[in-house]
Structure 1
Amino acid sequence: MKTGKIPPEILKKTVYPFLGEKRSEVLVHSGFGEDCCVIDFGDYVAVASSDPITGADTEGGYFSVFVACNDVAACGAKPVGILITLLLPEGSSESMLLKIMESIDRACREIGIEVLGGHTEVTPAVTKPVISATAIGMARKDGFVTSAGAKPGDDIIVTKYIGLEGTAILALDFEKFLREKLPEETVKKAQSLVKNISVIEDGLTASAIGVSAMHDITEGGLLGAIWEITEASGVGAEIYADRIPILPETQAICQVFEIDPLALISSGSMLICTSKGQEVVKALKEKSIPATIIGSVTSNGRYILKSGQKFPITPPERDELYRAIEKIKTSMQKK
């Protein structure tokens, strides 16, 4: 198998049939396109999600907190705390551990959550730090959202801009390489996007107005998120290419690495399906969160409309971030 998410067809054969015994307290179970489980606690539900960080070096700890908490917010739940499993390679220094924990602490304080526990060890099983974060949040039982509720006729909204996380990771981890290719100001702007990867307020604001489904745009980028939310909901989608919001610095970095921004990891951007598109956009903009209606939910078929033509949307084989990293490693080896 290739680097990145395991493809849906393999998950369906080798993962989803082996999930133990289903519990009646679990309201949302494991399934394709669902990043969170939801557990019944009376008037409230607990929402939990777990994600690893393997593609970022410089701000891995910071990213790990937001990536997991963003999943919880996509269910309309407010994050409460996070558990961290941190695996360090042999020979790691105490200063490395300190740097990771300081970045985790910084992210938690920005959100207002606690590190509830976890596990930390040095192991020969990894060659670079691997950070796995499990976020726990809460919502009213009548107020949580899933990825599986999109309905034909819904507007499809994207918040902020696609590719924020991938752009920031590439600019931070490969700063020297990019400074040889792009203006310094472009690289600086790209690095500053690390401050915009939270979709917690996006999710809570939208769910308060009324949404059918939400999905934070992570690995696989916009294309992956559209595929997952439509597959989970059993619907289709039509997306207008000229409406997709992309920052100039993201376009510039993607051109350097020759990668597709539509398939680049995009924490910081939420995909929202709702029958109240204009109301949701207005509420988000009142919170200074850019939001754009990029298309609509249909009965079947997944397409991007560009220059009067329809192009089918297929699930990306892997995130473009991995392709970019491989390209720069190959380039360094040649030198």
Structure 2
Amino acid sequence: MAGREGGDGVGEADGPTRRLSDLDEDELLAQVVPRFAAASGPTPLMLLGPGDDAAVLAAPGGSVVATTDTMVRGRDWRDDWSGPGDVGAKVVAQNLADVAAMGARPTGILVTLVADPGTEVAWVLAFTDAVARACADAGVAVLGGDLSSAGPGTLTVSVTALGDLEGRDPVRRSGARPGDVVAVAGTLGLSDAGWRLLREGRPEADPEAVAVHRRPRPPLTLGPAAAVAGATAMLDVSDGLLRDGGRIGRAGGVVLDLDPAPLAGDVARLAPALGEQDARRAVVEGGEEHSLLATFPTDTTLPEGFRTIGRVRPAGVDGPGVTVAGVHAHGGGWDHFRP
């Protein structure tokens, strides 16, 4: 089928397909837990890993950042677009990006799987392998998790991610001040472009965009770097540049005024596959990119990997939020409860 991810999927079995209903919980865990351990191994902060009622993780900085995010089949992914490897990589990426956006270093995750007993065991193991690899690449420990069954067709995965502030204060959404520069680290619009191309049945028009939609690439190390550099506000672009920029603006009672000029390259990158208008919408409205959007004092030397895309202004008659070239902008982006 056009658009189906080629690797880390569920291949054809030589014998009868094994399903979760063919195993008990202990038998499944006996296959899952060693995969996590083999990929990531022990990390310096994991004092006690899976096997007891809870894991133990050191917090050298004295403060722990915690976040959680969930993906539901049919709502957050489609099986004909994304294989289990994609789902595993994405659910880790989006959670670790939230930790990095607070200025923290990700240290560990907990994984939950809620599945129809008819789910293939091979899907679960491919998902497990992808989670393990993503954590190993980020230097993050898999601390444990939970399993539960659900009704026919249900498949939900959830990750809780933890991070260490390393003695720093968290970078919140509410700290932007007039005169600050607005900067972004990472790509803009690629994930949304990939989603559009999959929906249109044209994934071959931009394979990189499709790959980023399936497996986002958040710049995790730049979250702590931004904090060290003095970032005044930060979040990850999960729901679109306008929607997330508006959140920073409203939290701080200011306006994030975006400059179209630095975004022109992002639009030009996507225009051959999408056309100019949809490329522009993808850049300013597209979600699931998980790049980092931050504000910095005007005299700050931005960490390498960040680029300036605007300026923080005082709120005007339209109130706090986001503008593009001085024009108030709103809407677009992802909303879980709207079609």
Q: TM-score, normalised by structure 2?
A: 0.68
Aligned to 2:40: none
What pairs up with 1:304-315 in 2 under 5 angstroms? Answer: 304-306=323-325, 310-315=326-331
In structure 2, do the counterparts of structure 1 residues 121 and 61 end up closer, same or farther at CA, with 3 Å as the change threshold? same
Deviations 1:145-169 (A, max 9, x none): 1111111110000112212333445
Identical counterparts, % of pairs: 23
Residue 45 of structure 1: how far off its partner (Å): 0.8
Higher deviation after alignment, 230-239 or 77-86:
230-239
Aligned to 1:233: 252
Please, which of 202, 215, 225 is the counterpart of residue 178 of structure 1? 202
Matched residues in 2 for 1:198 and 1:105: separation?
Answer: 17
Aligned to 1:164: 190
Aligned to 1:199: 219
In structure 2, what residue type is equivalent to 1:218?
S
In structure 2, do the counterparts of structure 1 residues 255 and 82 end up closer, same or farther at CA, with 3 Å as the change threshold? farther
Deviations 1:23-79 (A, max 9, x none): xxxxxxxxxxxxxxxxxx895210011111242342111111111111111111111
In structure 2, do the counterparts of structure 1 residues 163 and 266 end up closer, same or farther at CA, with 3 Å as the change threshold? farther
CA contact (8 A) 1:156 1:296 kept: yes
Task: Give the match's secondary structure for 1:148.
Answer: helix
Deviations 1:173-204 (A, max 9, x none): x389115xxxx3x4322234356522211212
Matched residues in 2 for 1:253 and 1:268: separation?
Answer: 21
In structure 2, do the counterparts of structure 1 residues 123 and 248 end up closer, same or farther at CA, with 3 Å as the change threshold? farther
Aligned to 1:211: 231
Residue 255 of structure 1: how far off its partner (Å): 4.8
In structure 2, do the counterparts of structure 1 residues 263 and 160 end up closer, same or farther at CA, with 3 Å as the change threshold? same
What is the root-mean-square deviation of aligned Cα atoms in Å? Answer: 3.0
In structure 2, do the counterparts of structure 1 residues 222 and 175 end up closer, same or farther at CA, with 3 Å as the change threshold? closer
Aligned to 1:279: 301
CA contact (8 A) 2:242 2:322 kept: no
Residue 87 of structure 1: how far off its partner (Å): 1.9
Aligned to 2:20: none
Matched residues in 2 for 1:268 and 1:70: separation?
Answer: 6
Matched residues in 2 for 1:102 and 1:311: separation?
Answer: 46
Please, which of 249, 256, 261 is the counterpart of residue 242 of structure 1? 261
Residue 299 of structure 1: how far off its partner (Å): 1.5
Aligned to 1:92: 119
In structure 2, do the counterparts of structure 1 residues 85 and 61 end up closer, same or farther at CA, with 3 Å as the change threshold? same
Residue 254 of structure 1: how far off its partner (Å): 4.9
Please, which of 236, 245, 263 is the counterpart of residue 285 of structure 2? 263
Residue 252 of structure 1: how far off its partner (Å): 5.0
In structure 2, what residue type is equivalent to 1:155?
V
What pairs up with 1:37-56 in 2 under 5 angstroms? Answer: 44-54=62-72, 55-56=76-77
Matched residues in 1 for 2:153 and 2:209: separation?
Answer: 27
Unaligned regions of 5+ residues in structure 1, if any?
1-40, 327-335
In structure 1, what residue type is equivalent to 2:201?
F
Tell me which structure has the larger Cα radius of gyration: 2
Aligned to 1:117: 144
